[in-house]
Structure 1
């Protein structure tokens, strides 16, 4: 009986060790790279929900919120809109489907379509109009422009219009800085091509893919990305990639 009991204890210990090993392996496989779903369905911080406005059909979700400031989310609207907001943070949005028009404080109008990327400055009233079947991903982040810098309220970001000479070597390979904040936040056009890697990131990185394709690897997990998609690379990620002419708008925050 004693020998049987000892054998059972030994088997239990072996199973426990195996379970812990599998758990440790699973933990090791966790990645700091999140591919944002085109419908907000994999939002981690706040699930997709209805947002109530009279005569407006709007949904929103939040994938990620950083206690230090900044968040990444999804927005859907369908129908005529006249929504006026005064954002406290800067925003960059990437259109997934549909069209809408943003109107600035001085009446300037920006009609945006699928795969467009728009930068919006904080602390100025912004109006959204007529978004039918309209979806976008966005990142909002603290942004204080350099002293004396004059930045328009809204700017279309179009990496395809940049020349090769506009880029400089950067963490992703080639980078063109559109805007840099005093607090370290930065909005850039970033190119990835061939094989590459970067050391552990000290900031979060949001990517709007406007052209090309790539496979990213972090923590033993691979994530594919192509034109029209968005990725969030969380602070601390050690990222490597195999890319084919990947062109993105990237936001460091």
Structure 2
């Protein structure tokens, strides 16, 4: 390999390493530091290093259980469909997060959300574990994520599950059902800053609580990690020295 080709490859790997270093990544994706790095709306907490969002208020949502039985933060779940509510937190138009945003035949009532902004590049993959638990047998309370790009390309809403899919028994709790642990994987097609929101919301009424748990949030880079790029550079350097000695 000629010296000029070696120089070009070194420059390329160097730029990849810089690009990878520039990625902000996810802050506190394992919630070991509670809610540090996250902004929240409604009833959100991170007990036992797991993010928990609920539709619970401090009232009699789950009568005959005690008031606020499933509330995790001491804050009520927030209103949806009014100014200052959950849509404003997400940056969405009122009613646009409803399952039927055109005719509003079924509407979100109240809920909670958590968000964080970070940089991505095309090809980066977001992964996280989630579980939806619900005491609601009558209405399909919703759990979903919203991805908002700083480029102004609009909001992308990805459904996780609804309460009708929470059919598995929760050990030690006859009141709740759960979907069980799942993992979502999403690959970004563009580059720039994005804001990720998790949302859980009551549908059509506020009776009975649903809870969304989230953990192990990670962003896998599409470009070489700094360590790998550095090793590649060192390898090229050593190969170049060997070639010069042979020459």
TM-score, reference length from structure 1: 0.31
Which structure features the higher share of strand residues?
Answer: 1
TM-score, reference length from structure 2: 0.32
Larger Rg computed on CA atoms: 2
Which one has more relative contact order, counting CA pairs under 8 Å at least 6 apart? Answer: 2
Which structure features the higher share of helix residues?
Answer: 2
